[in-house]
């Protein structure tokens, strides 16, 4: 296993060395490798914001168009690992913004539906292993604005000030939506567990 | 895709989704590159055509004003060859100059100055880290939240880009409403005469690049026509007060002036070349409200008078020509009430943002009459500069 992992790291480093060299040389042929390497990751990002898979694919493609226009401005880094992290995070942020723009175009303004029960749960431990498909279903139950704030804060690492600017909401609302989103996810998780346990009995 | 047990749910979700990647779908790159190749030429062709037409027709009224036909042809040819390249070169040159200015500034700054800039750039990251610690201390930090691990120059460039991205996002947010409204003033040049109009406009954004605009404007046009030939002559015999006399009058129409006021309702398709510059093409319905015409005549009188000298008994004839200029209102108003009048509109505009949410727009335009108007004897092609305030 270790040998396999080391081989994978070497391969990734080679890819990034190629990317760095290609950016310096303004070589457009590298775009295909970047696209195929990050497509899955960016689809994961876009799918958190947009349920429709075809629209999510459009968002990913639009994000790559933006990225390919600007990536040649990156200066040659000394450390491959730093570059790898920075580049990945940069692509993710472009995708998030593109997804938000897409949502705005399709339904403006961002809708907010208050459908929460008064059950307050602040800590829930995971009993079973989590699966992405199950979690995505829970996320899609959240109102758009709550889901966006949750994704942006908890997964993408934006702070509330940034979120408030991007979504044009007060930062206090961003905090409230985050709390409610977390609460709702916990409630939904408990409920789905109860249903699953009931069925298994 | 699975997380260890006994973790708090939100932390578990966060870790799971951060690590999540979908498998690559074969053929995605091929579709992507096809789309890129397929879209670009059409867009660029359209931009070229729109920019060329707009530039050509914007230049025509200024050239016509000088009454110099020869250079018009030359200028049209020039514009046709390189309209888009010029715009692109200007944009590129501006970028290069800006970039060089920034580089020079950075070189001249001391390290201290660099440090004073850097915290402001990264202040959001610092606050982001604090926020994370307050609410969710176990959340792993994203690469942007750990700037200490990056080289300053590289980090600076990266943050600059992200900040620009944010600015772009803000502009879009402000314009997230698809409707824009505005008021406009229309100084119009028609045959060297300046007329004024005013109106309100509305714009509906179809996409980032295209929008449809309409509105309603009150336009006053002061048009004239020089026929350049005799329009008619009248001969009227009359009896002089004394002796035997004849006169022949020749009434010549020198010019016709028409004051037309009406409501112009345009419908235009606008293409945004960039955030500030756009071109527009469209038609407008023109409903004539009032039309007053004044005809200016020169009346030439050829007078002959014959009388008999009482002493000698010889008949003498005196001939003279009298010219008299006079104007009289014409009862005709052929344009008024016509419901199929219109203009073909071309324009190119420049937007300047003021007070963050408003725009001042300067839009040189050209209006060419179509339908009934084009057949009229009056030359109604006009051009000018729209001054618009949008909100």
Q: What is the pLDDT of residues B230-265, one digit of tens each?
A: 444 433 344 343 444 444 456 677 777 778 888 888
The reported pLDDT for the residue numbered B237 is 41
Put residue B228 in one of left, alpha, beta given phi > 0 → left and psi -120 to 50 → alpha.
left
Q: Which residues pair with B279 in a beta bridge?
A: B271, B348
The tokens for B8 are 């708090």
Give the one of B8, B32, B127 whose C-beta lies nearest to A123's C-beta: B8
| pLDDT-flagged residues of chain A (< 70) | 1-11, 75-77, 107-121, 196-201
Q: Select the residue of B17, B145, B162 nearest A155 (Cβ to Cβ).
A: B17
Q: Is B7 on the interface with A (CB under 8 A)?
A: yes
Give yes or no for A17 touching B (CB within 8 A): no
Lowest mean pLDDT among A64-78, B37-51, B244-258, B359-373: B37-51
- Taking alpha carbons only, the member of B39, B319, B13 closest to residue B136 is B13
Asked if B161 is an interface residue toward chain A (Cβ–Cβ < 8 A), one would say yes
Tokens of B359: 């725009």
DSSP per-residue string spanning B129-178: HHHHHHH-TTSPPPGGG-GGGS-HHHHHHHHHHHHHHHHHHHHHHHT-SS
Asked if B234 is an interface residue toward chain A (Cβ–Cβ < 8 A), one would say no
End-to-end C-alpha distance for chain A, whole angstroms: 39
Predicted confidence at residue B8, as pLDDT, reads 83
Minimum mean pLDDT range among A47-61, B109-123, B330-344: B109-123
Q: Which residue of B has its CA nearest to A136?
A: B17
- Distance (Å, rounded) from C-alpha A46 to C-alpha A57? 8
Any residues with CB less than 8 A from the CB of A194 and at least 6 apart, and which? none
CA A184-A187-A188 angle, 5° bins: 85
Supply angle C-alpha A63, A66, A69, rounded to 5.
Answer: 145
Distance from CA of A123 to the nearest CA of B (A): 7
pLDDT at B310: 76
Is the pLDDT reported for residue B143 higher than 50?
no
Distances (CA, A) of B383 to B236, B341, B379: 44, 17, 12
Q: Where are the beta strands (DSSP E) in chain B?
A: 179-185, 188-190, 193-195, 197-205, 210-225, 244-272, 277-308, 315-330, 341-354, 358-371, 382-390
pLDDT of residue A186: 87
**Would you put residue B266 in left (φ > 0), alpha (ψ -120 to 50) or beta?**
beta
B304 close to B247: Cβ distance less than 8 angstroms: yes
A126 touches chain B (CB under 8 A): yes
Say if residue B291 is exposed, middle or buried (CB neighbours under 10 Å; 0-12, 13-18, 19+).
buried
Cβ <8 Å between B124 and A48: no
Question: Would you state the pLDDT for residue A150?
Answer: 93
Please state whether A26 falls in left (phi above 0), alpha (psi between -120 and 50) or beta: left
For chain A, positions 130-189, list CB contacts with chain B under 8 A: 130-132, 135, 151, 153-162, 165-166, 168, 178, 182, 185-186, 189
A156 vs B136: CB contact, 8 Å cut-off?
no
**What is the least distance, in Å, from the CA of A39 to any CA of chain B?**
6
A127 touches chain B (CB under 8 A): yes
Task: List the Cα angle B36/B41/B47 in 5-degree steps.
Answer: 120
Distance CA B26, CA B349 (A): 44
| β partners of residue B253 | B297
B158 to A86: CB separation less than 8 angstroms, yes or no: yes
H/E run at residue A49: helix A30-49
For residue range B166-196, list pLDDT tens digits in order. 555 444 444 457 788 888 888 888 766 788 8
Q: Please report residues of B whose CB lies closer than 8 A to that of A178.
A: 135
Helix axes A171-200 and B9-19, enclosed angle (nearest 10): 100
The pLDDT, as a whole number, for residue A109 is: 47
Rounded distance between C-alpha atoms, residue B120 and residue B147, angstroms? 13
Write out the E strands in chain A: none
Locate A178 and state its tokens: 């985050």
Calculate what percentage of chain B has a pLDDT beyond 70.
Answer: 45
Contact criterion met (CB < 8 Å) for B139 and A154: yes
Element (H, E) at B40: helix B28-65
Residue B361's nearest CA partner among B260, B246, B249, B280 is: B280
Q: How many CB atoms lie within 10 A of CB A113?
A: 10
Residues B223, B219: Cα–Cα separation, whole Å: 12
Q: How many CA atoms lie within 13 A of B254 on its CB side?
A: 11
The answer to whether residue B85 neighbours chain A at the CB level (below 8 Å) is no
Residue A49, chain B, CB below 8 Å: the answer is: no
Q: Is B173 on the interface with A (CB under 8 A)?
A: yes
B97 burial type by CB count under 10 A (0-12 exposed, 13-18 middle, 19+ buried):
exposed
Does the beta-carbon distance from A40 to B24 stay under 8 Å?
A: yes
The rounded distance, in Å, linking the Cα atoms of B139 and B137 is 6
Q: Report the Cα B2 to chain-centroid distance in Å.
A: 58
Residues whose CB is less than 8 angstroms from the CB of residue B165 and which lie 6 or more positions away in sequence, other chains included: A93, A94, A97
Contact of B206 with chain A, judged by CB distance below 8 Å, is answered with no
> What pLDDT, on the 0 to 100 scale, is given for residue B69?
41
Q: Which residues of B touch A39 (CB under 8 A)?
A: 22, 24-25, 28-29
Q: Yes or no: say if A187 and B156 are a contact pair by the CB < 8 Å rule.
A: no
pLDDT band at B55 (very low <50, low <70, confident <90, very high): low
List CB contacts (< 8 A) between B35 and chain A. 61
Q: Give the residue-averaged pLDDT of B71-96.
A: 47
**Nearest CA distance, A74 vs chain B (angstrom):** 7
Q: How many CB atoms lie within 10 A of CB A159?
A: 21
Residues B64-78 have a mean pLDDT of: 44
Whether B204 has its CB under 8 Å from any CB of chain A: the answer is no
Mutation target to probe the B interface, by most B beta carbons within 10 A, among A64, A100, A126 is A126
Q: Using omega within 30 degrees of 0 as the cis cutoff, is the peptide bond preceding A109 cis?
A: yes
- Nearest CB among B32, B130, B145 relative to A35 is that of B32
B178 touches chain A (CB under 8 A): yes
Number of alpha helices (DSSP H) and beta strands (DSSP E) in chain A: 8, 0
CA neighbor of B59 nearest in space, from B310, B346, B284: B346
The pLDDT tens digits for B260-319 are 888 888 889 999 888 888 999 998 888 888 877 777 777 676 666 666 777 777 777 766
């Amino acid at each position: 296993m270790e040998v396999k992992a080391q081989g994978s790291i070497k391969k990734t480093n080679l890819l990034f060395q190629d990317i760095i060299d290609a950016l310096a040389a303004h070589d457009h042929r590298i775009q295909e490798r970047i696209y195929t390497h990050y497509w899955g990751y960016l689809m994961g990002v876009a799918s958190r914001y947009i349920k429709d898979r075809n629209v999510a694919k459009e968002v990913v493609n639009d994000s790559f168009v933006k990225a390919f226009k600007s990536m040649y401005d990156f200066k040659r880094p000394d450390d491959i690992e730093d570059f790898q992290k920075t580049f990945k995070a940069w692509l993710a942020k472009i995708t998030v913004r593109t997804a938000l723009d897409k949502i705005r175009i399709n339904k403006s303004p961002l809708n907010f539906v208050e459908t929460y029960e008064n059950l307050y749960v602040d800590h829930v431990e995971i009993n079973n292993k989590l699966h992405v498909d199950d979690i995505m279903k829970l996320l899609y139950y959240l109102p758009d604005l709550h889901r966006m704030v949750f994704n942006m804060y908890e997964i993408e690492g934006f702070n509330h000030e940034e979120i408030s600017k991007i979504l044009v909401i007060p930062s206090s609302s961003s905090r409230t939506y985050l709390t409610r989103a977390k609460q709702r996810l916990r409630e939904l998780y408990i409920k789905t567990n109860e249903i699953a346990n009931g069925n298994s009995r | 895709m699975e997380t260890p047990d006994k973790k708090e749910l939100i932390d578990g979700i966060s870790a799971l989704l951060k690590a999540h990647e979908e498998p690559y779908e074969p053929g995605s790159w091929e579709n992507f590159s096809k789309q890129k190749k397929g879209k670009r030429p059409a867009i660029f062709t359209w931009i070229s055509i729109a920019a060329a037409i707009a530039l050509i027709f914007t230049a025509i009224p200024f050239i016509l004003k000088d009454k110099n036909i020869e250079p018009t042809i030359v200028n049209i040819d020039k514009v046709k060859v390189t309209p888009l390249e010029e715009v692109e070169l200007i944009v590129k040159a501006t970028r290069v100059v800006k970039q060089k200015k920034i580089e020079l500034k950075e070189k001249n700054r001391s390290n201290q100055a660099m440090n004073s800039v850097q915290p402001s750039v990264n202040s959001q990251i610092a606050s982001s880290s604090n926020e994370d610690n307050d609410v969710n201390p176990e959340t792993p930090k994203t690469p942007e939240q750990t700037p200490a691990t990056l080289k300053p120059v590289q980090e600076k460039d990266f943050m600059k880009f992200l900040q620009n991205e944010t600015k772009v996002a803000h502009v879009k947010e402000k314009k997230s409403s698809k409707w824009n409204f505005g008021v406009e003033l229309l100084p119009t040049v028609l045959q060297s005469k300046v007329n004024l109009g005013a109106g309100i406009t509305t714009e509906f954004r179809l996409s980032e690049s295209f929008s449809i605009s309409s509105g309603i404007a009150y336009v006053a046009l002061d048009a004239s026509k020089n026929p350049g030939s005799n329009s008619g002559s009248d001969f009227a015999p009359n009896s002089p007060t004394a002796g035997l006399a004849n006169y022949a009058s020749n009434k010549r129409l020198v010019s016709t002036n028409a004051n037309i006021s009406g409501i112009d309702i345009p419908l235009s398709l606008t293409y945004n070349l960039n955030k500030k510059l756009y071109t527009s093409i469209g038609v407008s319905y023109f409903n004539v409200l009032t039309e007053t015409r004044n005809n200016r005549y020169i009346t030439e009188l050829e007078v002959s008078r014959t009388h008999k000298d009482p002493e000698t008994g010889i008949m003498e004839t005196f001939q003279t020509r009298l010219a008299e200029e006079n104007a009289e209102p014409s009862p005709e108003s052929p344009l008024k009430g016509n419901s199929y009048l219109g203009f073909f509109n071309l324009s190119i505009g420049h937007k300047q943002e003021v007070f963050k949410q408003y725009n001042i727009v300067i839009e040189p335009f050209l209006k060419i009459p179509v339908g009934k108007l084009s057949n009229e004897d009056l030359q109604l092609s006009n051009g000018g500069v729209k001054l618009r305030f949008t909100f």
